[in-house]
Structure 1
Amino acid sequence: MDYKWRVRQVAFAALMLIGGFETGCAQPLPQTAAAPVAASQDDSVAAVQAQPAAAAQPLPGSQSAALTPDEAQQNAAGNVAELQQLIRGSELNELRTTYNGTYGASLLFNGKEMTYYVALFQNKTFWRVIKTSDEQRAEAIYRDFAQKTVQLSDVELRRTRLEAQKAFTARMIALTQDHANRLQADLTVARQQQAIVADQQKQTRDQANALQAEKSQAQDQLRQVQRQVRELQRQVEGGLPVH
């Protein structure tokens, strides 16, 4: 009797223990424990939403202008066409512009929408256009684009200088050659004139020699005639008294 009663007591205690364990497992978690989990999820969402803004801030000392996902999506949607459309109107203000050779970078502001457009262009044709509402981001991209214009125009400016130097050298060659041609022409004229003068000198000398001979012959003839005249005069006056 005593043994059976003890068995019933043990079985009853085991059933109570099992029922209490199942009841405890079925109870919901306290709201105090769930609240931090919800708050943690909200913080994760906020962090994900804040990622583009964080990425939009330029790194210290960095000139990188890597696009945020939103900017990449906008750029793919046609920022170039959008900016060209806005330029036709009067809603944009040009804040900054840098030119290097045929390349340029501009920072433009749409006050109506409070958005910035940063453009990289060549020969006034837009190459890249970034649209952002973050002023610091726009300034960083503008500085990056301005630096790119320096790099892109380096070869172009070097070519321009070399073309100018080549043209200057060609012009100096032409001027020097023209001077040489004039000197050669002057030398040719001088040589020709010298030959003419030498020929004239020879002719004049020959003529002078001939005239000298003719003069000597004429003088001899004159002396002969004068002797003849004196002889005839003497004969004509022969026998006449002398004064």
Structure 2
Amino acid sequence: MDYKWRVRRIALAALVLIGGMGTGCAQTPPDNSATAAPVAQTSGAPVAQDEQAAAPAQVQAASQATTLTPEEAKQNAAGNVAELQQMLRNSELSDLRTTYNGSYGASLLFYGKEMTYYVTLFQNKTFWRVIKTSDETRAEGVYRDFAQKTAQLAEVEIRRTRLEAQKAFTDRMIALTQDHANRLQADLAVAREQQALVADQQKQTRDQANSLQAQKSAAQAQLRTVQRQVRELQQQVEGGLPIR
């Protein structure tokens, strides 16, 4: 049994050295912030975190959806994340495609010197998965799968972002409407106060007019009485005198 086990190990090492292609995946705890994912270019690609950190259930389910080939699974221990980081620091990769959805992103990177592709899935500045392969068709397929995953993973995040914006907009409209209502209430209070003042002034003016009307009537009656007296006296004074 020990001999067979050693033979298998030797055969596995030979396949790795001869084939020269493989993939690996590294899981890091995704950053749950809603900040949009950075462009995974040669000078500013995401940086991997500790591979031993546990991912949320949603992330774990999506990360297992892309089935690794036996060769890719064998390359997992080779540290593709660290290798990719070093190549990015040295600006050795070309960014062929990049997709963003919310804080999630997928990139298809190309190492021209060895005709090797690196397909990455990341959140914010954290590499989540890295698949290395020299098969162009395989690389394109994995990239499409990762891009689709970013849309699925970001769905709730995008919905939350929209709801936050809608709530903020609604709160702002409430504040503006309340301010308008307050100003209308103030205007109404001024109008009611002015209306009460005008009504009081109208009453006072009406009372004064009525009083003046009574005084006028009394004065006219008095005038008529005096005029009558004057006529009577005038008649008495001119009594017996010839009339022209």
The TM-score with structure 2 as length reference comes to 0.64
Q: Which residue of 1 aligns with 2:156?
A: 155
Inter-partner Cα distance in structure 1 for 2:147 and 2:200? 77
Q: Which residue of 1 aligns with 2:242?
A: 241
List gaps (5 residues or longer) in structure 2.
1-6, 24-63
Shift of 1:139: 1.9
SS in structure 1 at match of 2:66: coil
Q: Deviations over 1:176-217 (max 9, x none)?
A: 323432332343233223322321221122112111111112
CA distance 1:140–1:53, change in 2 (3 Å): farther
Q: In structure 2, give the amino acid aligned to 1:82.
A: Q
Find out whether 1:79 has 2:77 as its counterpart: no
Q: Which residue of 1 aligns with 2:66?
A: 64
- Of structures 1 and 2, the one with the larger relative CO (CA 8 A, separation 6+) is 2
SS in structure 2 at match of 1:230: helix
Q: Which residue of 2 aligns with 1:219?
A: 220
Inter-partner Cα distance in structure 2 for 1:237 and 1:52? 156
Q: Over aligned residue pairs, what C-alpha RMSD do you find?
A: 3.4
Inter-partner Cα distance in structure 1 for 2:223 and 2:126? 106
CA distance 1:102–1:45, change in 2 (3 Å): closer
Could you tell me the percent identity over the aligned residues? 69
Q: Which residue of 2 aligns with 1:7?
A: none
Shift of 1:65: 4.7
1:65–1:141 Cα contact (<8 Å) kept: no
Q: Which moved more, 1:218-227 or 1:172-181?
A: 172-181
Inter-partner Cα distance in structure 2 for 1:174 and 1:144? 45
CA distance 1:203–1:149, change in 2 (3 Å): same
1:71–1:131 Cα contact (<8 Å) kept: no
CA distance 1:209–1:107, change in 2 (3 Å): same
1:52–1:69 Cα contact (<8 Å) kept: no
Find out whether 1:129 has 2:130 as its counterpart: yes
Shift of 1:80: 4.3
Shift of 1:83: 4.1
Matches within 5 A, 1:22-171: 49=15, 64-66=66-68, 67-75=72-80, 78-86=82-90, 89=91, 91-171=92-172
Q: Which residue of 2 aligns with 1:4?
A: none
SS in structure 2 at match of 1:234: helix
SS in structure 2 at match of 1:155: helix
Q: Deviations over 1:44-66 (max 9, x none)?
A: 959x728978987xxxxx95153
CA distance 1:232–1:126, change in 2 (3 Å): farther
2:99–2:106 Cα contact (<8 Å) kept: yes
List gaps (5 residues or longer) in structure 1.
1-40, 57-61
Q: Deviations over 1:23-50 (max 9, x none)?
A: xxxxxxxxxxxxxxxxxx9xx959x728
**Matched residue pairs, number?**
192
Shift of 1:160: 0.7
Inter-partner Cα distance in structure 1 for 2:79 and 2:141? 18
Inter-partner Cα distance in structure 1 for 2:19 and 2:162? 44
Shift of 1:224: 2.3
SS in structure 2 at match of 1:82: helix
